Amino acid sequence: MSAHPHRLSPEEYLALDRAAEVRSEYYNGQMYAMSGGSLNHGVIINNTARALGNLLEDRPCLVVSNDLRVRINPNLYTYPDIVVICGKPQFAGDRQDIILNPLVLFEVLSPSTERYDRGFKSAQYRTVTSLMEHVLVSQSEPRIEVYRRQPGGAWLFSEWTGLDATCRLDSLECDLPLSTVYKNIDFTANASEERL
């Protein structure tokens, strides 16, 4: 990600981002252009979104990948890889392009952004009052990590590894097989990318 050279208000960021061809995230006055993803990154997102959509098709839930901006707080706007909203979506302003009430957020980890996604971004996500689960999906091996909000506000970490494992998403009352998430993924290609 690269930063915009001038300090921007949230309103200036939104005007620029809405007019731009490339999406950018916003934090504390700075606009950060998002880097493109790999083939595996895109396939994992599509596999996961499709599986979730099928699992939730009879429920009042929406699964949106890549294009829905989430306001974490007035100084942080992000584009999670997948956003799940159950019930009536709540939007910031008149446009329907900024969601305020995600139930589950997914990030597919990339070598260039994994540290940020696991650290700062994950911590910020967990401040969203509607969020019940934050999911990190590895590209380098079949592994899904879930941070799940507990009664009282603490977060519980769970991890599933291997193509025979099934990730439980309690807030959605569904099970997500890793074999579905990682269908058609070539892990040797990721190993080559990480060495570059």
pLDDT-derived band at 5 (thresholds 50, 70, 90) equals: low
Single out the residue of 74, 121, 105 nearest to residue 172, CA to CA. 105
Cβ–Cβ contacts within 10 Å for residue 138, how many? 20
Q: How confident is the model at residue 1 (pLDDT cuts 50, 70, 90)?
A: very low
- Give residue 196's pLDDT: 43
Asked whether the predicted pLDDT for residue 2 surpasses 60, the reply is: no
**pLDDT for position 190:** 55
Quote the pLDDT of residue 99: 95
What's the confidence (pLDDT) of residue 111?
A: 86
Cβ atoms < 10 Å from Cβ of 25:
22
Residue 195, pLDDT score: 43
Confidence of residue 11 (pLDDT cuts 50, 70, 90): very high
Task: Indicate if the pLDDT at residue 191 is higher than 70.
Answer: no
* 179: DSSP letter: H
Collapsed DSSP state (helix, strand, coil) of residue 72: strand
- Residue 115 CA, chain-centre distance (Å), reads 14
Q: Are 29 and 7 in contact (CB under 8 A)?
A: yes
- For 92-149, write each residue's pLDDT tens digit: 988 899 999 999 999 999 888 899 999 999 999 999 999 999 999 999 999 999 999 9
Q: What's the one-letter identity of residue 97?
A: D
* Residue 70 neighbours by CB under 8 Å, 6+ apart: 77, 78, 79, 80, 83, 98, 99, 100, 102, 105, 128
What tokens appear for 135 in the block? 């999911």
CB 166 within 8 A of CB 175: yes
25 Ramachandran zone, left/alpha/beta (phi>0; psi -120 to 50):
beta
Specify the pTM: 0.91
pLDDT digits (tens, 9 = 90+) for 41-85: 999 999 999 999 999 999 999 999 988 899 999 999 999 999 999
**What is the radius of gyration, based on Cα positions, of the chain?**
16
